[in-house]
Amino acid sequence: MKLPESEKIQIILLDIEGTTTPLAFVYDVLFPYAARELNAFIRRHFRDSEIRRFLESLRQQRALDASLGLAPPAWNDNSEVAEINSIAEYGRWLMKQDRKDSSLKSIQGLVWQEGYAAGELRGQVYPDVPKALQRWREQGKAIYIYSSGSVLAQKLLFQSTEYGDLTGLLDGYFDTQVGAKTDPKCYRTISAEIRCEPQQVLFISDATGELEAAESASMHTLLSVRPGNRPPQPAKFAVIRSFDEIFPG
């Protein structure tokens, strides 16, 4: 399949995992860091109003999971220490399932913020990404990110790459606050928020379910096949292996 014609595309919408950034960075660096630091982070911020809101949401989600027979970890709120441990254990349980819970994602982003600030984390992108972002901006295209990670987590990643701060090349960010990435409505919502027609947007992702949803919303799509990605299922989508292939100029 051919790439869409450059003049038809005004907006490039990018996934992160397996598209701009190696899956290994997310699953071998970010997730283990969050899992390891979760108890200490919750203990430090247990009484913060923003954190309390996220923790209450997790408690309610855990109760729902239990009612559905999903066997989440036990919950003990007999003491502050017991509750902190219960929250952290449930959070790690959600991470192992790669659940896209928005409260968990928000907490992860805050944990990573402290890690980036301490110099313990540094964002990773594929080598072709910085050049492509610059090239697309010079072509007059706007560039947005849509990831299951929180907007905060997205910004932290792109601020701290070995290629420098790339956020100046990005026009905005979307996370699952707009909805699940496999829901076509989310892509129509994004189009409305950035004030363009879906037909003017090119969405790039390594997940065919997301591409199907975007295509259902009338966006153009490309399947990202990067080293380390999950083997793609046979699909109807045009495949790219590097951003160098997309609107080279």
Rounded distance, CA 191 to CA 197, Å? 6
Residues 12 and 90 in one domain: no
Residues 15 and 33 in one domain: no
Query: Which CATH number covers residue 14?
Result: 3.40.50.1000
Residues spanned by the domain of 172: 6-21+123-245
Residues 239 and 159 in one domain: yes
pLDDT in the model for residue 1:
64
Query: Which CATH number covers residue 80?
Result: 1.10.720.60
pLDDT tens for the chain, 249 residues: list them: 678 899 999 999 999 999 999 999 999 999 999 999 999 999 999 999 999 999 999 999 999 999 999 999 999 999 999 999 999 999 999 999 999 899 999 999 999 999 999 999 999 999 999 999 999 999 999 999 999 999 999 999 999 999 999 999 999 999 999 999 999 999 999 999 999 999 999 999 999 999 999 999 999 999 999 998 887 766 789 999 999 999 997
